[in-house]
Structure 1
Amino acid sequence: MGQTLWFASRATGLVALVLLTTSLALGVAMAGRAAGPRWPRFALGAVHRNLSLTTLMFLAVHVSTAVIDPYAKIGWLDAVVPFVSVYQPFWLGLGAVALDLMLAVLVTSVVRPRVGPRLWRAVHWSGYLCWPVAVVHGLGIGGKDSELGWVIALNAFCALVVLFAVFWRLRTRGTDPDHEARQATGAFASVRGR
């Protein structure tokens, strides 16, 4: 197999980063109630969900090729238990943390009706932490690949997309048309609950 598994692992890791970045940006936009006549909220939700699942598929190939590749001697347990690997334990451990956070978001999203909105939202917020941990994992474990101009540009572009999405979200906070209705409903519910 030569370096085929190594190239597959690197490539799917970078594609997973781009997909995770896009999914995170869409999630931030949805949290800000972004929508329009061409992209209603349900369409944004469907794209976000499908991008997240596609990210997980690329991540599965990324992890599988890294484990199957005999060079680093990474075990399946190393991929999910942080900081126990013999091969670059810190950098691989960050990858395991990012994977575990993504899996937690996936599991709570699948069982969302059973866990309730508060727990789902709290776990879903860990998606914000997953992204920088994944970026640092890729930069740290990438070795010489991380120093390539196009890889640096790709990471910088992903960072700019996330920063723009978060900046936009903070600027539009409370300006969506449903904000006042949600606030009134929340106030009404708290008064009614007394």
Structure 2
Amino acid sequence: MSPEQIRVPPAKRRPTAPVATRRGDLSPRRVRQRSVQDPREAPGIEADTPGRGTAARFVPRYTAFVIVSALAIVFAISNQSLDRLWAFIEFGSGVFALLLLSFSVLWGVAAADRLLLDPNHRLIAQAVHRGSAVGGLGFLGLHIWSKITLGSTTWQAAAVPGLDGAQPILIGLGTVAGYLFVAVTVTGAVRGAFARKGQSRLWRALHMTAYLAWGASLIHGLRAGRAVVDWVDWGYAVALTGVTVALMMRLAPGRNPAPDKRKKEQ
């Protein structure tokens, strides 16, 4: 066999380390990479999970909130602020209920306008109308609860009109107004059910009782409670005039477009 036919297998080269390792590279970047250790490779070091880190950040905030709340409660008790809060609930909850419900009536009239407001503006007006109605009902419930709790009236007089011994008519008007406002709110929430059954006129008639409820609540608020100053009477008179004028403009002939135009808008 000739020397040309003899094949010598190539020698296997031993893997060498990177140049930086062989030269002992101690650059800051290399040192930082060496100092970072995988928690899974080091049994003595526990990994910092995201949940534990989040909890550790929020614990001081919760503690501070609890401390501030406790100090506020202690200050309120020592400073007789609870008495002021009760006084506000007793005499202010009814006023806020009447103001918010009046605000809801005004925005309800505005939301029905189709000449000055476009569809997007009417949606905004309807949202304000509904939100103020819900807020007014909340203060109305607080008003009824405070009057019963403080002994100003009984739950029988609050539930049935005309049973109050001192002011049967004025307190009864408040009871009737409360029932009407609740009925209007419920029927407004389920308006779609009336539309599917073809009873839009019935829904509109039920919703129009809000004006009766608002008028009854005005008389109840002005005459059943404490004596008010003259400017309050004038303010309610202006509000009543504004709602009346807006309602007359809404019901005026030609104010609302024809049904065919409404369908095109929708």
| Structure 2, unaligned runs of 5 or more | 1-81
CA shift digits 1:49-107 (9 cap, x unpaired): 1111011011111111111112x2x2223223211122421111000000010111122
Matches within 5 A, 1:110-149: 110-115=189-194, 116-144=199-227, 146=228, 148-149=229-230
Q: 1:162 aligns with which of 243, 263, 266?
A: 243
- What CA distance in whole angstroms lies between the structure 2 residues aligned with 1:56 and 1:99? 8
Does the aligned pair in 2 maintain the 1:13–1:59 contact within 8 Å?
Answer: yes
Matches within 5 A, 1:1-12: 5=86, 7-12=88-93
TM-score by length of 2: 0.59
C-alpha RMSD of the superposition: 2.8
Matches within 5 A, 1:10-49: 10-33=91-114, 36=117, 40-49=121-130
Amino acid at match of 2:101: L
User: Which residue of structure 2 aligns with residue 191 of structure 1?
Assistant: none
Does the aligned pair in 2 maintain the 1:95–1:133 contact within 8 Å?
Answer: yes
- What CA distance in whole angstroms lies between the structure 1 residues aligned with 2:130 and 2:262? 27
**1:174 lines up with 2:261 in the alignment:** no
Does the aligned pair in 1 maintain the 2:109–2:250 contact within 8 Å?
Answer: yes
Matches within 5 A, 1:83-98: 83-98=162-177
Q: 1:152 aligns with which of 226, 229, 233?
A: 233
Identical counterparts, % of pairs: 34
Q: Greater helix share, 1 or 2?
A: 1
TM-score by length of 1: 0.78
Decide whether aligned partners of structure 1 residues 17 and 101 sit closer, same or farther in structure 2, where only a CA change above 3 A counts: same
Deviation at 1:125, TM superposition (A): 0.9
Does the aligned pair in 1 maintain the 2:101–2:214 contact within 8 Å?
Answer: yes
Does the aligned pair in 2 maintain the 1:32–1:169 contact within 8 Å?
Answer: yes
Q: Greater relative contact order: 1 or 2 (C-alpha under 8 angstroms, separation 6 or more)?
A: 1
Decide whether aligned partners of structure 1 residues 107 and 175 sit closer, same or farther in structure 2, where only a CA change above 3 A counts: closer
Deviation at 1:132, TM superposition (A): 0.8
